[in-house]
Structure 1
């Protein structure tokens, strides 16, 4: 409506703008456009002969910055042609058997079907009137996962964007539980600087990041040493708890890990759970990596003790072969999720709780949230949990074979054997050339990535540079592992030879 004497003109949309909206009149365009995209991706997947092209940021950036986003191409086919140049041609392909770098898995087709469905329907998993059945599907999957963990009938949880968000929410709940008896703002202000979180030296960096986001003291995270298998030492945890009590500090949580990023190590969960129970301390288990053991037909026992946790992080997009993102945080006592609840009159007013209307925003740090649970739902309905678990068992077996292969090769030094699918190792020059080991391994990783023939990760162990295989692809064979090892040895050996030659030249001069 316009005021008398005033005319309001609405700018007209471009003539074809409405044709791009998905609705009953555009389904033919929708089918054709997505089919074209799927065909192109399928061809790329089929033709990928290496995991990476080796492109550098300096080479790729001009192609992307040169795109004029204010001048549309007007055609999805033309946009896909352009996408080939700015993205697809140089994408990193996790499905390739010689991608051995990070915790990125190949994805299963039922999950890709779920991705296509959820993006088209575009449900938002915050309130019932935006998601209906999607809300109940997510809740059913949370109940299923909690049962697999063994958290008990009062358990609950919510899907998240990933392990870092799951860990953040778990520590938020732990902080609020620790502050329950701090009545009034002054008591809370006095308590917050005294809160402490105990984790291992091999734990995930998101614990420290979460502590900062939660307003804890700069020294709030206490790291305890690990044993020879890179597992948190329970006796060290007990000593830290006792020391904190003597010094008037409050341990708000112990964070144990079921699958450390570097080593795949699993902390002694049962022993740590017993310590936390005796001390009345919240136990969070970061099982972002190791959660695949929940469906393993042969290795579920490696998670014994996780059922005693107060909260657990799981990343389905690591070891359930799901597309990013697919994660969840689960709690033993659903009442603790109230610490994430805020009511807004326009969205989830408090009266909805009385009417028993399920709103997932009451549990989540996010408001608008994708229906990522659908991917896992379709995966379980098509493959079943045993099928997913068998794939995870395969990569664990392959990593065990890789560890043996490397440990028997005198050119390499290998770190502790992982119960999961990670192998940490390094090329080790002999004799007087040993001081070139760090440089040789860093060079080998960079040269390998530049070639695009394979991708491996790197880390530091006791201050020294190591390489890391993270095997999450059942299609990776020991022949693939052996081939990559030979490439590493070639690049590293060449580096050592060049440096030794240079050293000799300096000595002569």
Structure 2
């Protein structure tokens, strides 16, 4: 029996792609499905109904003012390859239904692992799973019973400690937001030291060259990891080559759609033995936390082929340049306190008068900045995830908002 729901026509696909190009529609975006529909309305009417709901209210991360979070716009090559993935629904758990997908992942890891002096790894849905995987290996191979990290490390480290039954010691940070090396215990013989390359709050990079004999060194490079590919910024990640494991989020500065991440290991063979499982219904060992998982390497591989190393670097460096330009302009205002220079494209700034910063934030365009509390102060936060941000357009809006607070 032929089922048209699995066999779209050219017109069907074009109807679905059209909102991707236009981004907005003129139709109503009122939600009208409070209950599970008893009878379906068909694919085309569903597209017409959902498109305005999805696109009209969405944050457009490639907009001229978008500079708020560690969520980048995605290149259109990833839209196409993600659609391919959905149509094929391959499962890397079974080689017979994913003959090419596994190869794509091997190539992506092969291309990227050497930049961090890692021997291999695999892809994950993001750095939360990557961090958990790394610390799982640390527990079972290095026999750690404790994680030592900074107060500013990602919340996934605390989650991993809870899941793995490990003690967690969170250390103070210095004025730059980096782990205070003077707080690190002398005896790390049964500890995993977790350092962060690009903290979520301030973008700070811990001293990755810390000379401490930890049983395991893991570096959470979810945000700043891709900067290692740039000759102009690679040095800020010096020391990452000494790690036992490194995590990176593909859906941050590799410009991938969610969910995309990597976990890399110095000794991937030992790591894989630790986190592998098999069963009678499998023809190969299942490596990592996930069982069934899709071909998430395809969009990343396609992006790297389309852009090349130089194209990726150009977009990373363009993003960094925009953050530095914004930081310089903010520093010209005597009414503002600006946090450290944006080492990894994250800027924190606020008014001298602490209680007015939230009011200032409310005057900025939605999506141009985020509002956080950090070190007992409220801050406006900009993040250089959008290489297409228009600095003049954004600055015009910031300057306009600042007028009422000028002395």
* TM-score computed with the length of structure 2 as normaliser: 0.92
Equivalent residue number for residue 340 of structure 1: 275
- 1:454 deviation in Å? 3.9
Equivalent residue number for residue 254 of structure 1: 193
**In the TM superposition, what whole-angstrom CA distance separates every residue of 1:202-230 from its partner, at most 9, and x where no partner exists?**
211111111112123xxx22122223322
How far apart in 2 are the matches of 1:93 and 1:201?
32
Equivalent residue number for residue 4 of structure 2: 19
How far apart in 2 are the matches of 1:33 and 1:444?
46
How far apart in 1 are the matches of 2:9 and 2:218?
44
Q: Name the Cα RMSD after superposition.
A: 2.5
Q: 1:91 to 1:67 in 2, by over 3 A?
A: farther
Equivalent of 1:306 in 205, 223, 240: 240
Q: Return the structure number with greater helix share.
A: 1
Equivalent of 1:140 in 97, 101, 107: 107
* TM-score computed with the length of structure 1 as normaliser: 0.74
**Count of residues in correspondence between the two structures:** 404
Q: Does 1:400 align with 2:324?
A: yes
How far apart in 1 are the matches of 2:200 and 2:393?
22
Equivalent pair of 1:289/1:315 in contact (CA under 8 Å): yes
Equivalent pair of 1:263/1:423 in contact (CA under 8 Å): yes
Mark the runs of 5 or more structure 2 residues left unpaired by the alignment: none
Mark the runs of 5 or more structure 1 residues left unpaired by the alignment: 1-14, 49-59, 180-191, 353-358, 430-436, 495-509
Equivalent residue number for residue 181 of structure 2: 234
Q: Map 1:11-410 onto structure 2 (within 5 A).
A: 18-21=3-6, 26=7, 29-44=8-23, 63=31, 65-66=33-34, 68-74=36-42, 76-151=43-118, 155-179=119-143, 195-216=145-166, 220-237=167-184, 240-242=185-187, 250-251=190-191, 253-270=192-209, 272=210, 274-275=211-212, 279-334=213-268, 335-348=270-283, 352=284, 359=285, 361=286, 363-410=287-334
**In the TM superposition, what whole-angstrom CA distance separates every residue of 1:337-395 from its partner, at most 9, and x where no partner exists?**
222211110124xxx5xxxxxx5x2x221111110101111111121011111100111
How far apart in 2 are the matches of 1:93 and 1:66?
26
Equivalent pair of 1:110/1:379 in contact (CA under 8 Å): yes
* Structure number with larger C-alpha Rg: 1
Equivalent pair of 1:295/1:386 in contact (CA under 8 Å): no
Q: What's the secondary structure of 1:425's corresponding residue?
A: strand
- 1:34 deviation in Å? 2.1
- 1:87 deviation in Å? 2.1
- 1:455 deviation in Å? 3.6
How far apart in 2 are the matches of 1:468 and 1:381?
33
Q: 1:173 to 1:481 in 2, by over 3 A?
A: same
- 1:488 deviation in Å? 4.3
